[in-house]
């Protein structure tokens, strides 16, 4: 039970309950341009809605590309493994949502423009994130200072994201 915390329920019951904090704890690194490799991707139903009459897809949603920053220690990092994400909008996300999830994106979306710019795929219909695998990129990292409601984050709540994939390293 190393990652579990025993807490008392707020409703006054004496029974102890296990609570687990899940997910990635986003790192905070200096803003700048870094070498990075894609280590995983996933989809999310955040900002999505149901499509009437369709059960296996949602309209909208997010694509998350997870990059390992300075994977070959060329910048002389402290040896810590920093995984920083890049969030992009999806036109649709297919169920099951999550790791290696399937999605569609518009040709003029940020994802579509990124694929076109990096890989030159003018008429691509299958531009999955597998295109990014086993390639070294220069990415621009910035610090997130506000939450989704534009409320300022405290210094301890701030985290880094990949703002842009600049080019191949």
Q: If 0-12 CB within 10 Å is exposed, 13-18 middle and 19+ buried, where does residue 152 land? A: exposed
Q: Who has greater pLDDT, 129 or 21?
A: 129
* Residue 4 included in any domain: no
Q: Who has greater pLDDT, 124 or 154?
A: 154
Total count of domains within the chain: 1
* Residue 124 included in any domain: yes
What range does the domain containing 159 cover?
24-168
* Residue 18 included in any domain: no
* Residue 1 included in any domain: no
Each residue of 92-121: pLDDT tens digit?
A: 999 999 999 999 999 899 999 999 999 987
* Residue 12 included in any domain: no
* Residue 119 included in any domain: yes
SS (H, E, C) 111-132: HHHHHHHHHCCCCCCCCCHHHH
Cβ neighbours of 132 (radius 10 Å): 21
Mean pLDDT, the chain, integer = 88
pLDDT at 19 over 80: no
* Residue 5 included in any domain: no
Q: Who has greater pLDDT, 151 or 120?
A: 151
Give the DSSP letter string of 77-110. --S--EEEEEEEE-SEEESSPSBT--EE--TTSH
* Residue 144 included in any domain: yes
pLDDT confidence tier of residue 156, bands split at 50, 70 and 90: very high
Say if CB 140 and CB 29 are below 8 A apart.
no
What is the predicted pLDDT for the residue at 5? 52
The torsion defined by the Cα of 11, 6, 26 and 126, in degrees rounded to 10, comes to -80
Each residue of 25-63: pLDDT tens digit?
A: 789 999 999 999 999 999 999 999 999 999 999 999 999
């Amino acid at each position: 039970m190393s990652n579990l915390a025993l807490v008392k329920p707020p409703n006054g019951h004496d029974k102890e309950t296990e609570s687990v904090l899940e997910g990635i704890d986003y790192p905070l690194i200096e803003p700048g341009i870094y070498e990075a490799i894609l280590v995983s991707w996933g989809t999310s139903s955040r900002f999505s809605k149901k499509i009437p009459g369709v059960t296996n897809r949602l309209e909208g949603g997010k694509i998350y590309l997870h990059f390992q920053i300075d994977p070959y220690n060329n910048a002389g990092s402290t040896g810590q493994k920093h995984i920083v994400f890049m969030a992009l909008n999806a036109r649709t996300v297919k169920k099951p949502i999550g790791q290696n999830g399937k999605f569609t994106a518009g040709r003029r979306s940020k994802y579509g423009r990124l694929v076109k710019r990096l890989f030159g795929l003018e008429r691509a219909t299958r531009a999955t994130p597998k295109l990014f695998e086993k390639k070294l990129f220069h990415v621009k990292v910035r610090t997130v200072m506000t939450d989704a409601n534009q409320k300022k984050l405290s210094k301890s709540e701030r985290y880094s994201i990949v703002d842009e994939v600049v080019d191949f390293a």
